[in-house]
Amino acid sequence: MFHRAYSGGAAEVAQVVGAMTALRKMSAQRDLLMVGDSKLISYPNVTALLAAGVQFVAPCPAAQVKDDVYAALELESARLVDYTAARDAGKDPTLRAQYRLLEDTVTIKGPRKADPPVTLRRILVHSTANATAQRTARERKLSRAREELDTLQRNLGTRYYPDETAVAARAAVISRNRRVGPYLHTTIGSDENGRPTLTWSFDQQAIDAEAAVDGWHCLLTNLTAQHADAEQVFLKYKGQAGVERRYGDFKGPLAVAPMFLQDNRRITALITVICLALLVFCLIERQVRQALGDDQKMHGLYPDNRAVRPTGRLIFYHLSSLRLRVGTATDPPTILIIRGIQAELLALLGIDETRPRWLET
């Protein structure tokens, strides 16, 4: 719907405020909401957005929330959200990810003492899917570190690890590569024969402390409770996926790549052409989905014939093999369809394959 090219030296917050102001003027809509990523949350950005009257929702950077905050939360008192992720839509309800919410406020301080503090709503979110993924990742890295440390112990005193220095270096590599430094304890020494020794253990207390915060993250917003409660803020943030997917289209099917141009005007022109292509790309996807009705799913896009929502990438993939037979004085041009899915897509797009548009000159 909207794009704008900015100088590479322009401040990010100036781009955000400028784009939101222009979009608000273009759409005559006063209650636009910006859904950003964690880079949005900084004192200069937040104060500029508040001054410009821009409403926003964004995840808080992980470094700004200590684990103690999450560990002190009571999951049982959190509110269960009526939300099903798209990836869980076809699953048994008992196997779907669950989301729970708590709410409080947080104060962001400026870099200078004279900077006035800013208070925002903080929505604390617990996801069972994230908790499971974090627990699985931790168990996997602990298992791999355990295997490598056992291998190191078996090879102590060999030509690979003849002394304490070599053993310490290898233990440090394992700790760094497997990211188990916070809970790995090692003791390296030598026996009476000068052979290196190694004893190691994982700090279970540190592991338990990390596990206590699995699945938690938080969102910050300047939306008031009258505009949106905690669940509505969460659902608005979940809409970010639709926008982020267009960035993927921008870099994927449209294959936008760095290139050198003579001046900035040409760069701006190229961005405009690419964004127009993205607009057409999105409109084609939108038209196919609307033509499918409420379900917005179709078969034949994947080899296993499962029903999925068509994306612009899949639509263009299947239509890319279409061929046009050039017409003659007695035989009109014809689109050659080689797969049934192509005919179905053309029908959904309202294109008559028997009457292709072909320039006469």
What are the Cα distances from residue 309, in Å, to 286, 290, 301, 313, 354?
Answer: 11, 11, 9, 11, 27
29-57 pLDDT per residue, tens: 667 888 888 888 889 889 988 888 888 99
Predicted pLDDT at 102: 95
Instruction: Band the pLDDT of 138: cuts 50, 70, 90.
Output: very high
Query: How many CA within 13 A on the CB side of residue 131?
Result: 17
Predicted pLDDT at 358: 55
Average pLDDT, the chain: 88
- List Cβ<8 Å contacts ≥24 apart for 169-174: 171/198, 171/200, 174/145, 174/148, 174/149
- pLDDT of 360 higher than 60: no
> H or E segment at 107?
strand 99-108
Predicted pLDDT at 216: 95
User: Are the C-beta atoms of residues 298 and 349 closer than 8 Å to each other?
Assistant: no
Over residues 89-94, mean pLDDT: 84
- pLDDT of 248 higher than 60: yes
- pLDDT of 296 higher than 60: yes
Predicted pLDDT at 132: 95
Residues in the chain: 361
User: Are the C-beta atoms of residues 335 and 353 closer than 8 Å to each other?
Assistant: yes
- pLDDT of 79 higher than 90: yes
Predicted pLDDT at 78: 93
Over residues 339-357, mean pLDDT: 85
User: Would you call 127 helix, strand, or coil by DSSP?
Assistant: strand
Predicted pLDDT at 258: 75
Over residues 86-92, mean pLDDT: 83
User: Would you call 294 helix, strand, or coil by DSSP?
Assistant: coil
- pLDDT of 10 higher than 90: no
Query: How many CA within 13 A on the CB side of residue 96?
Result: 16
Lowest mean pLDDT among 12-21, 248-257, 258-267: 12-21
The tokens describing 345, both together, are: 């897509």
The tokens describing 183, both together, are: 């809970």
The tokens describing 94, both together, are: 């008992």
200-214 pLDDT per residue, tens: 999 999 999 999 999
- pLDDT of 60 higher than 70: yes
Predicted pLDDT at 361: 44
Over residues 67-82, mean pLDDT: 91
Residues paired with 218 in a beta bridge: 124
Q: Where are the alpha helices (DSSP H) in the chain?
A: 12-27, 43-52, 67-71, 128-154, 164-177, 204-211, 230-238, 240-251, 264-292, 312-319, 340-348
- pLDDT of 254 higher than 90: no
Predicted pLDDT at 359: 53
- pLDDT of 185 higher than 90: yes
Cα–chain center distance at 316: 24
